[in-house]
Structure 1
Amino acid sequence: MLETASALISPSLPTVWPRFEQPLRLGVMASGNGSNLEAIAHSIERGELHAQIGVVVYNNPGAGVVERAARLGLPAVLLNHRHYPSREALDHDIVQTLLAHNVDWVIMAGWMRCVTAVLIDAFANQVLNIHPSLLPSFPGLRAVEQALAAAVKVAGCTVHQVELAVDSGPVIMQAAVPVEPTDTPATLQARIQVQEHRIYPAAIALAAASHLSA
């Protein structure tokens, strides 16, 4: 089974993953290339994460996640935030789309929009996000650049439950990444992303197992 600690720094991944009565139904929200979507999908294919991806919601018409979703055989729905009068209106349509695809867990994978209570309340304690820092350090945009500007020796990534405040909410899992003297934002981001791909599927399983046993 997964370890029960709420936050794990550079964790070893489980050799035996939780199995649920029914596979988790995931809705993935992405704004960019969707590399975490692919990592989650491959974990499911390998039989590690007991889940299904019901739908991918994206908000940028040219987002690379569309190609990944098509290659993985996943339905993708464009909800362009530029066409909505408010964040709440966008989130209302996101909720309706997720519910139409029988989603019970919402997985934000590079979703670059602040969400509102409309989404959070519809999936109480079942909205997860991944952020490229060891929260609570360096929330918000350009977290990698923030870490380099602060000259920290260790950076990393965090999977957490989503709350209204940006990059807040209980931590599910973290992975540490040493900062090298020669690092640029691109090189550090690339190494952090490797850890994101490792821990996000495991963190989803951990969060679901904890939620179901509560």
Structure 2
Amino acid sequence: MNLALFASGNGSNVQAIIDAVKAGKIAGNIKCIVCDNSKAYVINRAKEAGIDTFILSPKDSPSRQAWELEIIKYLKAHKVDLIILAGFMRILGANLLNHYPKKIINIHPSLLPAFPGRQGIQDAYNAGVKESGVTIHYVDEGIDTGEIIAQKRLQIQPEWTLEELENNIHQIEHSLYPKVIQQLAKEFNEKGSNVK
């Protein structure tokens, strides 16, 4: 199974996935990393791992549509089977969603449908809830509204700072995402062998 990772920033989830592939815990190949931010640290991670990287901001394209079509062209050239959003801070439009139906997944740092959007951890912390967690879901046209694939819960300790909550959420992300990707890769590879 050929994977494309999309990221906008530090790329700690990208690193967890790279490490899991290297360790043989994911039966897939990371063909490329797509990044919309030329200053993102994830680009260094990609270089260190020897992974081809496509860097293009929507601002550098004539339109949002043109930006997505450039990405699709690049993904097709790399024969990508599954797109994995790992801290990608853009909403995907119809072009990408239609080209890759049920082939784009995202990780979100809350128990969806609670606390969607950019600041899931902070929103849960500020709301004073007793539990939060991590959700992995298929991407649709909404914001964090796609079909849920997996969730893992976390009890929030009353004495935790926001930073402690963030660290605990990230630990769950780094273990849960590779497991879910491996499950999808296994299903994909089994389907492939049934076709032959």
Query: Is the structural similarity TM-score above 0.5?
Result: yes
Q: 1:37-186 to 2 correspondence within 5 Å?
A: 37-186=14-163
Tell me the distance in 2 between the aligned counterparts of 1:191 and 1:101.
34
Relative to its length, the structure with more helix (as a share) is 2
Tell me the distance in 1 between the aligned counterparts of 2:63 and 2:156.
39
Shift of 1:209: 4.2
Aligned to 2:166: 189
Number of corresponding residues? 191
Check whether the contact 1:29–1:106 (CA below 8 A) recurs between aligned residues.
Answer: yes
Tell me the distance in 1 between the aligned counterparts of 2:178 and 2:163.
24
* Alpha-carbon displacement from aligned partner over 1:51-96 (angstroms, at most 9, x marks no partner): 0000001011110001111111111111112213433222111111
Matched letter for residue 128 of structure 2: A
TM-score of the aligned structures, taking structure 2 as reference length: 0.91
Check whether the contact 1:172–1:207 (CA below 8 A) recurs between aligned residues.
Answer: no
Moved over 6 A (4+): none
Structure 2 residue corresponding to 1:205, chosen from 182, 191, 194: 182
Aligned to 1:10: none
Q: Unaligned regions of 5+ residues in structure 2, if any?
A: 192-196
Percent identity, aligned pairs only? 37
Query: 1:117/1:209 Cα in 2 relative to 1: closer, same or farther (>3 Å)?
Result: farther
Tell me the distance in 2 between the aligned counterparts of 1:70 and 1:210.
30
Matched letter for residue 134 of structure 1: L
TM-score of the aligned structures, taking structure 1 as reference length: 0.84
RMSD (Å) for aligned C-alpha atoms: 1.6
